Amino acid sequence: MLDKLKKMIDEKFAQAPSPEAVKKAIAEGQIWKSIFRHGYPDTPRNRVMAVLSNLFLHLHPVKARHSGVKMSYTWCMGGLSFFLFLNLTVTGILLMFYYRPTAEYAYYDIVALREHVPLGIMREIHRWGAHAMVIAVWLHMFRVFMTGSYKPPREFNWVIGVVLLVITLLLSFTGYLLPWDQLAMWAITVGTNMARATPFMGYEGPGASMIQIGGVHLVHGGSDIHFALLGGHFVSEATLIRFYVLHCVVVPIVAATLMAIHFWRVRKDGGISGPL
Amino acid sequence: MNSSRYRFPFLALAAFLLMTGTSFAEVKPSSTIEISSLIINLGFIALGSLFVYVIVLTITFLFNAYKEAQEHKAHAHVEETEPSALNPELNRRSFLSLLGLAWVAFTAATLGALSGVVRFLFPNVTFEPPLKFAAGAPSSYSLGVDERYKEGHRVWIVRETTGFYALSTICTHLGCTPNWLQAEQKFKCPCHGSGYYITGVNFEGPAPRPLERFQITMTDDGLIQIDESIKFQQELGQWGLPGSYLEYKG
User: Quick one: three-class SS letters along B113-155?
Assistant: HHHHHHHHCCCCCCCCCCCEEECCCHHHCCCEEECCCHHHHCE
Report the range out of A242-256, B16-30, B222-236 with the highest average pLDDT.
A242-256
Average pLDDT, chain B: 84
Q: Answer with the residue of higher pLDDT: A39 or A139.
A: A139
Cα(A267)–Cα(A144) distance, integer angstroms? 15
- Domain range for A158 is 76-177
Of A186, A189, A216, which has the smallest distance from its Cβ to B30's Cβ?
A216
Distance (Å) of CA A186 to CA A189, A222, B176: 5, 20, 7
Is A80 among the domain residues?
A: yes
Is residue A103 in some structural domain? yes
Rounded distance between C-alpha atoms, residue A156 and residue A263, angstroms: 12
Mean pLDDT in residue range A175-196: 92
Nearest CA in chain B to A215: B30
Nearest CA in chain A to B176: A186
Mean pLDDT value across residues A145-161: 93
Across the interface, whether the CB atoms of B32 and A218 are under 8 A apart is answered yes
Q: Whole-prediction pTM value?
A: 0.74
Name the interface residues of A facing B (CB cutoff 8 Å): 186, 189-190, 193, 213-214, 216, 218, 223, 227-228, 231-234, 236-238
How high is the pLDDT of residue B194? 95
- How much is the pLDDT for B1? 44
User: Which of A146, A58, A229, A54 shows the shortest CA–CA distance to B122?
Assistant: A229
Quick check: A213 and B29 CB within 8 A? yes
**Domains identified in chain A, total number:** 1
Q: Name residues 1-60 of chain B within 8 A of A (Cβ).
A: 28-32, 35
Average pLDDT over residues B112-136: 85
Residues of A in contact with B126 (CB under 8 A): 231-233, 236, 238
CB–CB contact B122 A228 (8 Å): yes
pLDDT of residue B52: 85
Question: Three-state SS for B166?
Answer: strand
The alpha carbon dihedral of A199, A204, A206, A209 has a sign of: positive
- How many C-beta atoms lie closer than 10 Å to residue A205's C-beta? 19
Partner-chain contact A236 B122, CB within 8 Å: no
CATH number at A121 reads: 1.20.810.10
pLDDT above 80: residue B143: yes
Say how far apart CA B117 and CA A32 lie, in whole Å.
Answer: 46
Q: Which pLDDT score, from 0 to 100, does residue A75 have? A: 84
Least confident interval from A20-24, A31-35, A180-184, A244-248: A20-24
Per-residue pLDDT for B5 more than 80?
no
Q: How far is A159 from chain B (nearest CA, A)?
A: 27
Look at residue A82 and tell me if it is in a domain. yes
Residues of B in contact with A218 (CB under 8 A): 32
pLDDT tens, B13-33? Answer: 888 888 888 888 777 777 777
Q: Is the peptide bond between B138 and the residue preceding it cis, with omega within 30 degrees of 0?
A: no
List the Cα angle B238/B244/B250 in 5-degree steps.
Answer: 145
Mutate to test the interface with B, among A102, A183, A189 (most CBs of B within 10 A): A189
Among A196, A254, A246, A250, which Cα is nearest to A225's?
A: A196
CA distance A243 to A237: 10
Is A231 within 8 Å of B126 when comparing Cβ atoms? yes
Higher-confidence position of A67 and B88: A67
Q: Is the pLDDT of residue A78 over 80?
A: yes
Closest chain A residue by Cα to residue B153: A234
In chain B, which residues have their Cβ closer than 8 Å to the Cβ of A189? 174-176
> pLDDT category, A118, cuts 50, 70, 90?
confident
- Contact list, A237 vs chain B (CB under 8 Å): 127
**DSSP state for residue B232 in the 8-state scheme:** E
| pLDDT(B88) > 70 | no
Q: What share of chain B is helix, strand, coil (3-state, %, to 5)?
A: 40, 20, 40
Residue B248 has pLDDT above 80, yes or no: yes
Contacts of B121 in chain A (CB under 8 A): 228
Tell me if chain A has a CB within 8 Å of the CB of B122: yes
Q: Is the pLDDT of residue A154 over 80?
A: yes
In chain B, residues with a C-beta closer than 8 Å to the C-beta of A197 are: none
Relative to beta strand B224-232, strand B213-218 is antiparallel
Q: Which of B37, B126, B127, B214 to mutate to test the interface with A (most CBs of A within 10 A)?
A: B126
| Cβ-nearest to B174 among A190, A223, A234 | A190
Q: Which of A193, A216, A236 sits opposite B174 (nearest CB)?
A: A193
Q: Is residue A147 part of a domain?
A: yes
User: Taking 90 as the threshold, does the pLDDT of residue A213 lie above it?
Assistant: no
Among the partner-chain residues B123, B127, B175, the one whose CB lies closest to the CB of A189 is: B175
Q: Do residues B176 and B183 touch, judged by C-beta distance below 8 A? A: no
CB contact under 8 A, A190 and B32: no
Q: Measure the CA–CA gap between B206 and A80, rounded to whole angstroms.
A: 40
Cβ contacts (< 8 Å) between A227 and chain B: which residues? 122
ipTM over 0.85: no
Q: Is the dihedral of CA B48, B54, B59, B63 positive or negative?
A: positive
